[in-house]
Amino acid sequence: MPSLCRECLTEFDTAPRCPSCGSPRVVAHPELFDLTIAHMDCDAFYASVEKHDNPSLEGKPVIIGGGRRGVVSTACYVARIRGVRSAMPMFQALKLCPDAVIIKPRMDAYVDASRAIRALMEELTPAIEPLSLDEAFMDLSGTTRLHGAPPAVMLARLIKRMRTELGLTGSIGLSHNKFLAKVASDLEKPHGFSVIGKGDTDAFLRDKPVRLIWGIGPAAQASLEKAGIRTFSDLLRWEQTDLVARFGSMGDRLWHLARGQDKRRVSRNAPMKSISNETTFGEDTNDPDILDGHLWRMAEKVSDRAKAKGLAGRVVTLKLKRRDHSSLTRRLSLRDPAQLADTVYRVARGLFDQVGDEGPYRLLGCGLSDLCSADQADASGDLLDPDAHKRGQAERAADAIRDRFGHDAIMKGRALR
């Protein structure tokens, strides 16, 4: 069976250890050198960056997250052994792991590290689709002659370079489509290299639960379970038309995924579907002034990002989380796509005023979706709000000032609440 040593990148035929360097870190698969779609996922990315930048953290449990109140954003593997997980409330993480070193996220450092990884990936293929700072799909089809080595070898080399040059480890999933590549990268974390070939796709999926599918969360799981669908083999029993009739477009996707089929391409610039920002407060609040300040800042962040990308959105969403973590969302479709912070804020504020819930809340967020190009944005005014045009012009003028003198050069009083 085609095999590859992940340490010295020697290719050989079936052996428990590398015949060249003797390492046991061998990956073997009948289709190893034929598969081209990969998913790379860094291991405990934020924590690894911190450990690399500060060697004294080596061997210590490290948790990245905001304040006592926030949630764990990343836990290093030492902390994970103690039971700390991502998205766990910080107080709970500290109970499990009182000696953990808590570090506030340093996004700039992570963005830099992510860029460095991206540069290494660019050497492999131009077809890269980043999903976040620390994971990306790569399509290495047709690169074998260019590199003089099959994708598997290049990927192993990428991981090796990430470790030696950047001090970061990652896991690779290699398969024949995006769905399976992503599933594979998660199989042997950390520092894994997993392969799902065309020949073993059906056997691999058969008894796996459907929650393996990206995008099938608890709600979708519950509705599938009502239909008696828990595993992929349950899905295989359904006719395509029945799945579509019951679950809509998701049904069609499920039918194909159940057969290990996923036609989505690795696309460099996946079109953005929504822009949103949210913030968890230092302490729960139902103070209308404080909430209003948060709402404005979130609207402004969303608008800034929309402006930077030249986008506008037709749907404004407001999200609130209550003390018990239950969340509440409200949305409104606009007649004209909006880009201005003023519009996003006013719509979200209108939604907020109609929530009819006392709070207190722990989180507030707002977002824009149903995106389109910005040249259609805010095209028609509101008869009942004749000042909107002036406020829009004021906002554009303020943006010009910020571009020149920095982001904090001018701001609304509301932003200080």
Q: Active-site positions?
A: 135
Per CB under 8 A, 271 contacts another protein: no
Measuring CA to CA, which residue among 294, 274, 273 is closest to residue 283? 294
Q: Which pair of tokens denotes residue 123? A: 């050497």
CB 362 within 8 A of CB 284: yes
Measured from the CB atom, the residue of 151 and 367 that comes closer to another protein is 367
Q: How far is the CB of 387 from another protein (least distance, A)?
A: 12
Q: Tokens 């291991």 identify what position?
A: 43
Contact stretch for another protein (CB under 8 A) within 85-93, 272-280, 376-384, 395-403:
376-384
Measured from the CB atom, the residue of 196 and 377 that comes closer to another protein is 377
Residues 141-170 that bind another protein (CB under 8 A): none
Q: How far is the CB of 416 from another protein (least distance, A)?
A: 26
CB 334 within 8 A of CB 347: yes
For another protein, the binding residue among 351, 364, 366, 368 (CB under 8 A) is 351
Q: How far is the CB of 226 from another protein (least distance, A)?
A: 21
Write b or e for each residue in 371-402: b if 16 or more Cβ atoms lie within 10 A of its Cβ, otherwise e: beebeebbeeeeeeeeebeeebeebeeebeee
Q: How far is the CB of 251 from another protein (least distance, A)?
A: 24
Q: How far is the CB of 327 from another protein (least distance, A)?
A: 20
For another protein, the binding residue among 15, 116, 146, 379 (CB under 8 A) is 379
Contact stretch for another protein (CB under 8 A) within 14-22, 147-155, 197-205, 384-392:
384-392
For another protein, the binding residue among 126, 287, 376, 396 (CB under 8 A) is 376
Per CB under 8 A, 180 contacts another protein: no
Q: Which amino acid is at 153?
A: V
Measured from the CB atom, the residue of 186 and 370 that comes closer to another protein is 370
Per CB under 8 A, 403 contacts another protein: no
Is 315 in a helix, a strand, or coil? Answer: strand
Measuring CA to CA, which residue among 146, 63, 46, 156 is closest to residue 102? 63
Q: Which pair of tokens denotes residue 254? A: 């499920």
Q: Which pair of tokens denotes residue 13? A: 């035929």
Calculate the alpha carbon distances from 223 to 41, 179, 230, 234, 319 in Å.
29, 21, 10, 14, 23
The residues near 171 (Cβ < 8 Å, ≥ 6 apart) are 40, 41, 42, 43, 185, 186, 188, 189, 190, 191, 192, 193, 194
Q: Which amino acid is at 222?
A: A
Measured from the CB atom, the residue of 123 and 385 that comes closer to another protein is 385
CB 329 within 8 A of CB 399: no
CB 154 within 8 A of CB 143: yes
Q: How far apart are CA 58 and CA 36, in angstroms?
A: 35
Laid out side by side, the sheet with 311-322 consists of 274-285, 361-373, 311-322, 327-338
Q: How far is the CB of 381 from another protein (least distance, A)?
A: 5
Q: How far is the CB of 318 from another protein (least distance, A)?
A: 11
Q: How far is the CB of 270 from another protein (least distance, A)?
A: 20
Q: How far apart are CA 77 and CA 191, in angstroms?
A: 11
Residues 299-338 that bind another protein (CB under 8 A): 314, 332, 335-336
Contact stretch for another protein (CB under 8 A) within 115-123, 127-135, 254-262, 345-353:
345-353
Per CB under 8 A, 383 contacts another protein: yes
Measuring CA to CA, which residue among 220, 74, 175 is closest to residue 84? 74
Contact stretch for another protein (CB under 8 A) within 45-53, 73-81, 224-232, 382-390:
382-390
Contact stretch for another protein (CB under 8 A) within 26-34, 98-106, 202-210, 378-386:
378-386
The count of residues interacting with another protein (CB under 8 A) is 18
Measuring CA to CA, which residue among 300, 295, 298 is closest to residue 285? 295
Per CB under 8 A, 382 contacts another protein: yes
Measured from the CB atom, the residue of 164 and 380 that comes closer to another protein is 380
Find the helix or strand (DSSP H, E) in which 296 lies.
Answer: helix 288-309
Contact stretch for another protein (CB under 8 A) within 133-141, 202-210, 238-246, 385-393:
385-393
Write b or e for each residue in 105-125: b if 16 or more Cβ atoms lie within 10 A of its Cβ, otherwise e: beeeebeebbeebeebbeebb
For another protein, the binding residue among 14, 384, 404, 413 (CB under 8 A) is 384
Footprint on this chain of another protein (rule: CB under 8 A): 314, 332, 335-336, 347, 350-351, 354, 376, 379-386, 389
